[in-house]
Amino acid sequence: MTSSRTMFTALFASALLAISSAQEDYSPCPILGPRYPQPVQVTASPFVQEALQNLTAAFDVLILSGGDSSFTDTTPNTTTFSVALFDASDLADGSTPFFYEYHHVAPSFDNKTTVDAGSVYNVGGLSQFLTVYTFLASAGDDLWYEPITKYLPELNETSEEPAMKSVDWNHVLLIDLATHLAGIPRQATTDTISDIVPEGFATLLPQSLPKSSPNVTREGILNILRTQRRAVYQPGTTPIYSDTAFQLLALALEKINGESFGSTFVENILSPLNITHTSVGTPRSNTGAIIPSDPLESGWQIQTLETALLAATGMFSTISDISIIGKSILCSTLLSPSTTNRWLKPHSYTSNPRNGVGMPFDIFTPTLSGGKIGPIIEIYTKYGAHGLYSPYFGLVPDHNVGFVILSADTDKAADLNAYADLLAQYLIPAMERTAAAEATVNYAGTYTSDDGASRMTIDVDGLSGLSVLNWTASREVDIKGAYAQLAGIPAETLDMRLYPTNIRDGTGNGTDLAFRAVLQDVAAPADAGTPTCVTWSSGVDALVYNGVALDEFVFGLDAKGGAVTVSIPALEMTMRRE
């Protein structure tokens, strides 16, 4: 598989460049998060509809080319796959949980093979985010800073070893395991190269290393970790991928709940979401199964019945079920909004500043402009092959959408980066344009006080957020100019933009949505000529009068999400949209 996300970022940036009309010498520096209120008319959006048509055409070309295209890593002749796009809309009775699907059966598969939304694949590395989801749904996030040895004291039962030869298990926290920061071995095994040792190299290998039986039991894994495997880094240092971390997390959850990990998964994830085609371990029935070759060699047949040991790569599902799970995360169906907010955050970064690491997501953060600074979109993804199966899952919280790709290959696990690139290339720009278009309809215009003394004009100019063009009050007081003076910015070069928060009161008619203003000087160098964006620390909630921030703006919305009024609580001012 490719070792970087260069193609992903490049395609994403080039596609978004067309919708960004920012001046070369100025780029807004918004608060991290959505630039506009999240779009709600996703499937009705002409931008999205056009994108889906183009996406289908692109998949068709990719398949017809046999992989001989700009996406050189694709193998449609041997890779069977299913794709779905979903959003955070309610799941109506009888409706599908996604708004787009695409399926392909490779010629190398049995000619009786068919795929649809109910086809079951091994979901490989997606098991890891499902494990974290299960932990959060059943135990919350209060226990993250407990050491793993509190729940697995067996890891401490070892002779004193130098730091170089053992793991300091007492300082490995549960959150370290969930975020790839534990610094522990990738797998609990003593030998991974026995079948691929190069000729001549075998004579250099020491023969005195202890051997063990396959680590398919709880005791086997803990014994290997306790007595034979060495630390990779000290805990909390740097992200290092580890399957073992999620097995340990699941074992700890078993101790916390007093039941098997599989039972906890069913009770806290599958049953509440009414999901029936997802399992920990091989499904009991082969109905809808996509099995590319021998069940054992392909990764379909799992050899252990201990469900905690399958928490890293041993779950099975469909694009329909994964879409439901993704929707539930976006909607905080099973978690409180605050828990979801804390979950979907970076916990560290890789040596590429565009690539973050979450719990346990791989987070990609390209800029909208394609430059070094500017608004970014966080894309929370998870992938990871198992056997001949490859999955890819992604969430875009800014737009309340997500995607899932499941695949099986008759030759080797497929590289799905190109498939994800296509989704990003077409979907994300369409969603940004949809959000801007909805913001124009719902917020742009002139707002006037009942007595006609105060007046504000708001526009959506494609740069970022809601732009306050002018704002005056009685006796022709230039309120926007007053804000400029308070912020130490020349009035003629002040850029005043409003960004939505997630603070909302009410539902339907009478809903209030809070925004915050960001004040920038368009004539100033971009953050003193450095690729940084510091408005989060330099201006938000900084100007306060009578205990209320001057940068707080509250829009009163109607049942369709359109603004009726805008209020500035600190000024006790309300204006009605004309």
User: For the residues of 372-441, what is the DSSP string, one character each?
Assistant: SSS-B--EEEEE--BTTEEEEEEEETTTTEEEEEEEEESSS----HHHHHHHHHHHHHHHHHHHHHHHHH
- Whether 215 shows a pLDDT value over 60: the answer reads no
- Paired tokens of 286: 């082969």
At residue 5, does pLDDT exceed 50?
A: no
pLDDT over 50 (residue 4): no
Per-residue model confidence (pLDDT) at position 204: 63
- Ordered by start, the domain boundaries in the chain are 444-577
Please report the pLDDT score of residue 281 as a whole number: 96
The conformational region for residue 535 under phi > 0 = left, psi -120 to 50 = alpha, else beta, is alpha
Is residue 464 over pLDDT 80?
Answer: yes
Phi, psi of 183 (to 5 degrees): 70, 25
Q: What are phi and psi of 467, to 5 degrees?
A: -90, 125
Round to whole Å and give the CA distance between 1 and 306.
30
Q: Are 465 and 518 in contact (CB under 8 A)?
A: yes
Q: Provide the pLDDT for residue 158.
A: 59
Residue % of the chain over a pLDDT of 70: 85
pLDDT for res 10:
42
332 φ/ψ sector (left φ>0, alpha ψ -120 to 50, else beta): left
Residue 529 has what pLDDT? 55
Per-residue pLDDT reduced to its tens digit, 514-562: 999 999 988 876 555 555 677 888 889 999 999 999 999 999 999 889 9
* pLDDT one-digit tens code per residue, 18-76: 334 334 567 788 899 999 999 988 989 999 999 999 999 999 998 988 766 565 678 99
Distance of CA 445 to the CA centre of its chain: 34
Q: Which residue has the higher pLDDT, 507 or 516?
A: 516
Closest CA to 82 of 448, 408, 438: 408
Helices (H) and strands (E) in the chain, counts: 13, 22
Rounded to 5 degrees, φ, ψ at 84 are -145, 145
CA torsion sign for 33, 37, 39, 40 is: positive
Mean pLDDT of the chain: 88
Model pLDDT for residues 222-270, shown as the tens digit of each residue: 888 887 778 889 999 999 999 999 999 999 999 999 999 999 999 999 9
Radius of gyration of the chain (CA): 26
**For 235, which DSSP code?**
T
For residues 568 and 552, is the Cβ–Cβ distance under 8 A?
Answer: yes
- Greatest mean pLDDT among 131-135, 192-196, 492-496: 131-135
Which pLDDT value is given to residue 375? 78
pLDDT at 166: 77
The pLDDT-based confidence of 140 (bands split at 50, 70, 90) is: very high
Give 420-443 pLDDT, tens digit per residue: 999 998 999 999 999 999 999 999
pLDDT at 17: 43
Chain centroid offset of residue 111 CA: 36
Residues 76-101 have a mean pLDDT of 91
**Band of pLDDT at residue 376, cut at 50, 70 and 90:** confident
Q: Exposure pattern of 51-74 as b/e (b: 16+ CB <10 Å)?
A: bbeebeebbeebbeeebeeebeeb
Taking CA atoms, 266 is separated from 263, 271, 273, 386, in Å, by 5, 6, 10, 22
